[in-house]
Structure 1
Amino acid sequence: MTSRGTKYWNSGAVPLIAPEMLGEIIATASDLAIVISLEGRILSVLVNAGHRAHGQLDHWEGCDIRDVLTEDSQPKLEAKLRLFAEGGDSARPVELNHTDGKSWDFPVRYSFHRIGPNGGVLLMMGRDLRPIAEMQMQLIEAQMALERDYETQREYDTRYRVLSEATRDAFVFVGTRSGRVIDANPAACTLLGVARADLIGSAFSQEFDGRRRAEFVETLNLRAMDNAAEPIEAEARRSRTPVRIVATAFRAAGEPLILCRLDAAETQGAGTGEMAETLRAFFEEGVDAIVFTEPDGTILTANESFLGLADAPQVASVKGRSLGDYLVRGSVDLRVLVENATRSGQMRMFATKLAGEYGAQISVEISATYLSDRVHPCIVFVIRDASRLEGVRKPGVAVSDDAMRSVMELVGSATLKDIVAETTDVVEKMCIETAVELTRNNRVAAAEMLGLSRQSLYVKLRKYGLLSRDGGHD
């Protein structure tokens, strides 16, 4: 029995081993084996043939082992050598980091063994720790990735909760198979007259009168799969509020769900219904042309008066087309109308010309109103025929009394030619300022509106000191 508690081999149980075979055994039993003197000089280096990650280390032989260790590993080696020099012994392994004078290093865990006749030589048998270090690094990276995913999930969950609390739209998430409520926002709870804690987990069908669970779930699934389906009409059992349910199917984390948007059905009284009929009659039979468009100017519908101005045979021929197709200046006028209506909500009395299907042009005045408080915002254009007014209007630009007095004051102090030139400059500057303002400082659109080239417009802008305005774009 040794001092470490290890049993000796029985005498004669182990045969004599040749040096070359002993070296092979040692190299195989460890990833890296180093034989050193008590002073730290490397006598031999044995590398496991099946572990060539270290490369060839024969050039270490004859060197001081401290030269191939990092600075933080050298004190550990010194302590071991000092212990063995004083006659002590230690079975505790030591982790040392090797470096070869390059930008890379590798950790090895060594066990120290006395060898030789007098124990003056040490055998260091090492295990490469890089696979463990790489595994630890992968675990750390995986943990960091999980932390990032967790933070991202928390961020999305917070956004969803804030949106759910802040929106005025009522919505409920329902399981496709079970028909039970997965989640609901406060607006939906208020509309249904039930607390959120009582609603979540319960059957959605029980919140409405006369609805059987199986039939209701089947109806929800069918309506959710058909984008053109009509909303489901129902009455909330607790609040007695008529509601319309718009179902949308989707899948989250592999589970099919239905998003049910709830809209309170407006109870139309006699006065409300009569007003709706009156407005519809005004739209269909009104003298002025009325056009409903998307926010980008695509026509949704138009009345008979507009069809008459545009020489269009029926509503289907104009529906889906851009309103700019019927304006002489096309997208220039449409952009001015849409941008101003969207920005301020309204635009009044915009003078332009309408071009019919066969090229006929007619002077019109257009007013636009942006309806933003709808599920699908739209712009309403009221177009009035102004061709009859052109005959009774006086030619030229109307001048205010103050401007007229200013011009009259020039009589006697300037020639008629100078007075006319100055008045022309004033009117020209007013027209350019108006065009730039209507197009929101879009110089290309303003030039098209005024019938000028871009170069001519820039010359006049520079002439009247309007070129330095901020925000101008081509």
Structure 2
Amino acid sequence: MTSRGTKYWDSGAIPLIGPDILGDIIGSLADIAIVISATGKILSVLPNPSRRAYADLKNWDKRDVREVLSAESIPKFERALAEYLDAGAVSRAVELNHYDNERKWQFPINYTFNKIGPDNTILMLGRDMQPVAELQQQLVKAQIALEKDYESHREYDTRFQVLLGHTTDAIIFMSASDGRITELNSAAARLLGKKRDALQNTSLAQELKGLSRPDLMDRLFSTAQTDGNDGFEIEVAQSGDHLRISPSLFRAAGERMFLCRLTPFSGKPARDDDYTRNLIALCENGSDGIVMTDGTGAITSANEAFLNLVDATDGRSLRSRQMSDFLSRGNVDQKVLMDHASRVGSMRLYTTRLIGEYGGQRPVTISATLLSNGHAPCFAFVFRDAQVSETPLPAGLPTTDDDARPIMELVGSATLKEIVSQTTDVVEKMCIETAIQLTNNNRVAAADMLGLSRQSLYVKLRKYGMLAKES
């Protein structure tokens, strides 16, 4: 009750407030309170005492408010001031950005315009928008991060789909909880006898004959956790074809999944006799380097002897690398070996130099053999270190008369220079003929193999009358 016997807040009235405490009340209600004239001159600044960042704004007194606003906020302030002077009030709050020239920082304030005197004196009560601006920046950063994650997800999904579509292996991704196919490629759909879209999100067990879903899941789990996983036989319900399924168990996003590889079932049990075991032991422990490649020349496996020849750490680092990476003439050597082996089945005693991982070279002789595993052609290469054969022969090693007879017959009928020249021509002609034959009449490859330029090779072909013959 007031001294007059009335309530303080009757009919929307407020009690009388002493001038000495009015400023404190206004300062505590608003983050910043500014009293300005009708022209925009700052008459007083009342910062909130709890906001230390605004404690030193007393230097704004007697300045034009436009001097402490950023360039884009000045037009907004002038529109709000003109609206207040015309209508006596501003319809809505105005957000202005203050700029401090001394400290070179700015902060946003949301102002309301209030009339406090008959001389158009205006009280601007401001609320700090910095927390809101910081929250908006965090939201923008979070949105940008989400967009980047989404783009990254789309990129990886595209790569996965391209890889799945172009691989020749029949691949199925299947949920380990319910046995449903989550993803598969066209090769797997062809083996199951249906279209890819028709198999998505369906149970694999219903596409097979003689296996219920629980039985299929039990066999997949037991096979995936067995060492030396060779898979097991399944029968396609629609076509009756027998396939081998090889499962691998993994976890993604907290859910266990099966990666299943399908291959046609040959029905031939793997050999486990002495011959097979001895052959495997020879490949692993033999002194000659052995390398297996696919039809393109990409390495699929290599034994320990080859790793020693090229100074490689382990076989995994060589997988999918081209055989030509380790040959001195690169693709020329690889093409000659593979083309010759493809035509006649094998090639023996091809001489070149092997390049190691650290650039070292050593002479080797290579034998190449074309193999067939029932699906795609592959090649086996055997490397033998030829450094021993390049060492000088011991003194006094006997030679047969048959080896020396053609040269001995020239003695007396020609000078030593002529004998050496004729012998050199014969050897040179034999080397050119061999290179032309090995490269299947590829002049560029033959010149590279012999270390000659293409022009020099044509000169020597013309010299020995081989140009017309070869063409």
TM-score (ref. length: structure 1)? 0.62
Shift of 1:59: 1.0
1:322 deviation in Å? Answer: 1.6
CA distance in 2, matches of 1:226, 1:377: 29
Aligned-pair distance for 1:63? Answer: 1.0
Q: What is the distance in 2 between the residues matched to 1:210 and 1:153?
A: 39
Residue correspondence of structure 1 range 352-431 to structure 2 within 5 A: 366-369=366-369, 379-381=380-382
Q: Which residue of 1 aligns with 2:58?
A: 58
2:188 aligned counterpart, secondary structure: helix
Deviations 1:245-304 (A, max 9, x none): 1111111221100011000123669xxx9xxx9x989979x9xx987445699996xxxx
Please say if residues 33 and 46 of structure 1, whose CA atoms lie closer than 8 Å, have aligned partners that are also in contact.
yes
Task: Name the structure 1 match of 2:40.
Answer: 40
Distance 2:9 2:364 in 1: 114
- Corresponding residue number in structure 1 for 2:209: 209
Quote the residue 2:245 is aligned against: 245
Cα offsets for 1:407-452 (capped at 9, x unmatched): x9xx9xxx96799699989999x99xx9xxxxxxxxxxxxxxxxxx
The one-letter amino acid paired with 1:110 is Y
Aligned to 2:106: 105
- Code of the residue aligned with 2:154 in structure 1: it is R
Structure 2 partner of 1:16: 17
The match for 1:322 is 305
1:125 positional shift: 0.5
Q: 1:338, 1:384 → 2: CA distance?
A: 17
Letter of the 1:224 counterpart: A
Residue by residue over 1:306-330, the C-alpha shift from the partner in whole angstroms, topping out at 9 and shown as x without a partner, is xxxxxxxxxxxxxx53247589xxx
- Name the residue aligned to 1:316: none
Q: 1:159 corresponds to which letter in structure 2?
A: R
Aligned-partner Cα distance in 2 for 1:25–1:96: 23
Change (3 A) 1:383 1:99: closer
Distance of aligned partners of 1:202 and 1:367 in 2 relative to their CA distance in 1, 3 Å threshold: same
Distance 1:392 1:213, change over 3 A: farther
Query: Is the 2:181–2:203 Cα contact (8 Å) retained in structure 1?
Result: yes
Q: Which runs of 5+ in 2 are unaligned?
A: 1-7, 311-324, 342-346, 354-362, 390-397, 435-451, 457-471
The letter of the residue matching 2:63 is: C
Which amino acid counterpart does residue 66 of structure 1 have in structure 2? R
The AA in structure 2 aligned to 1:128 is D
The reply to whether residue 72 of structure 1 matches residue 55 of structure 2 is no
User: Which residue identity is paired with 2:106?
Assistant: D
Matches for 1:248-263 after TM superposition, within 5 Å: 248-263=248-263
Q: 3-state SS of the aligned residue for 1:140? A: helix
Residue 167 (structure 2) aligns with:
167
Structure 1 segment 321-360 matched on structure 2, within 5 A: 321-323=304-306, 335-336=326-327, 345=338, 348-350=348-350
Paired with 1:33 and 1:18, the residues of 2 have a C-alpha distance of: 16
CA distance in 1, matches of 2:243, 2:235: 6
TM-superposition CA deviations, 1:26-84 (whole Å, max 9, x none) = 11111111111222211211111222344521111121111111222222322333344
**What is the aligned residue count?**
367
1:431-470 equivalences in 2 (<5 Å): none
Which amino acid in the other structure matches residue 219 of structure 1?
R
* Partners of 1:351 and 1:366 within 8 A in 2: yes
**Corresponding residue of 1:158:** 158
Question: 3-state DSSP class of the match of 1:210?
Answer: coil
Q: What CA RMSD, in Å, does the superposition of the two structures yield over aligned residues?
A: 5.1
Q: 1:425 to 1:67 in 2, by over 3 A?
A: farther
Which residue in 2 is equivalent to 1:310? Answer: none
Partner of 1:180: 180
Task: Indicate conservation of the 8 Å contact 1:297/1:324, yes or no.
Answer: no
- Aligned partners of 1:427 and 1:55: how far apart in 2? 100
2:304 counterpart SS class: coil
- For residue 322 of structure 1, give the secondary structure of its aligned residue in structure 2: helix
Q: Mark the runs of 5 or more structure 1 residues left unpaired by the alignment.
A: 1-6, 301-319, 328-333, 354-362, 435-460, 466-474
Partner residue, 1:450: none
Assess if the C-alpha contact under 8 Å between 1:220 and 1:247 holds in 2: yes
SS in 2 for 1:257: strand
1:223-242 paired onto structure 2 within 5 Å: 223-242=223-242
**How far apart in 2 are the matches of 1:376 and 1:55?**
83
Q: 1:163 offset after TM fit, Å? A: 2.5
Partner of 1:98, secondary structure, is strand
Question: Is the aligned partner of 1:133 residue 2:125?
Answer: no
Residue 469 (structure 2) aligns with: none
Percent identity over paired residues: 37
